Amino acid sequence: MSDRPRLAQHEGARHSRIHGVGGYRPERVVTNEEVCTWIDSSDEWIRSRSGIEERRFAADDETVIDMAVSAGRDALEHAGISADQLGSVIVATVTHPFQTPSAAAAVTHALGAGAAAAMDISAACAGYCYGIGLADAMVRAGTSDYVLVIGVEKLSDFTDRTDRGTAFIFGDGAGAAVVGPSDFPGIGPTVWGSKGEDWDVIRNRESWIDLRDGAKGGAAPTEEMPWSYLTMQGQSVFRWAVYSMAPIAQQALDAAGITADQLDAFIPHQANIRIVDALVKQLKLPSHVPVADDIRHQGNTSAASIPLATRRMLDEGEVSSGGLALQIGFGAGLVYGAQVIVLPDPQTLPAPGQQTGITSSRGPTGYSGRPSAATPRTSVHEPKEHHMALSENEILDGLAEIINEETGLDAADVQPDKSFTDDLDIDSLSMMTIVVNAEEKFGVRIPDEEVKNLKTVKDAVSYIAGAQS
């Protein structure tokens, strides 16, 4: 055995960090008023349900590759790194219109990064966090000195403008980060995973095979050959994000050895302002921690949303370079990823050995990145056992308070015979928020299939009373 040749292996940096963040926002601003020319809606309705005031759309001839290159150059400049120093380029996207070759290879060439390794990853709205996790591992393994991670989407190409549930949500853009060696821990352990049994709650409407079989001599998409727009089961996604992502974010904090009050920023995927607000509440973030709200002006840009929000917060002085930020992405798959990072500070680098508060994950005792058995995948506000059953009148009063908080309706108007839709004018997203809050307040679980049966206030009161007994 002693005569057998011994393999050589790379030895990388002990730590990694993000050296710079860049972004690209298309010129065209699409207002809610314009969206309302496609669907029956209003500016007030869109703002109240999503937080979105406007979004950006790329030009017709502007590609995923074009936007990725612009964001990548911006990140390289911010980091003070030249393209020929890159060992790898990772592009996270679900809207590059080619199955192959990758967008990353074209981006690498356009940037002048020589023969750098190039690959696309498909992790939807979690793609950027996945890319940061991979880049961290690559730098510390020694396979690349510097890695450019780009999240980029042209979602306007895949948005059905007739779908009232999704037409107002998505936008286009690109964000990027340069990850490289560091003499202090700059990227905490990545907590990531998937829930593949719910693969169909956010998906393309048609597969490539379906499109091929529906094609008519290569003609443009028609009613006979539908385009593969994105579809989403909003209530299921909302519930999953609200219940399941707060504990994942908490695990990322725990893995990094950080508490919520030590954060300098919270930068979640910009999916919906209501989801963001719910995460803030469940994580019990102190009021001094700024929270990204780039969705107001950019819409949901999937893999691009976190780096774009990060760059905006840095540019506007909302966060300090060198501070700690918790970032979490979640979306189609279903997949999720989160980590705590040190925000880039290209001008003033921390001194060697300076403590940042993040616990290093290097070595055999490092955090695995998988949710631990000791930390169940449930929200810190997951329904819990109530100390005593309430009467139906007490449940009615509590439910009226929840509805008042969510919709502004006078609690006195919430009577047992009132229909949620016809009398109280409560839409499906508001209804899901009410359900989530009722589950927390009354310590019960209301499955999605039961929510559909709750037509009146009386239905909800009776179900909650029965579930408590």
State the pLDDT at residue 366: 38
Query: Residue 343's closest CA among 315, 375, 310, 368?
Result: 310
State the pLDDT at residue 220: 58
Decide: 107 and 72 in contact? Cβ < 8 Å: yes
State the pLDDT at residue 141: 94
Catalytic residue numbers read 125, 269, 300
Question: What does pLDDT average to over the chain?
Answer: 86
State the pLDDT at residue 370: 42
State the pLDDT at residue 229: 81
C-alpha distances (whole Å) from 33 to each of 5, 217, 301 are: 69, 37, 19
Domain 392-468 has CATH 3.40.50.2000: no
- Could you read off the pLDDT of 266-303 as tens digits, one per residue? 999 999 998 999 899 889 999 999 999 999 999 999 99
Which residues does the chain have with pLDDT short of 50? 347-357, 361-387
- CATH classification of 15-342, choosing from 3.40.50.170, 3.30.1280.10, 3.40.47.10, 3.90.1140.10? 3.40.47.10
Same fold: 15-342 with 392-468: no
pTM reported for the whole predicted model: 0.82
Q: Per-domain residue ranges for the chain?
A: 15-342, 392-468
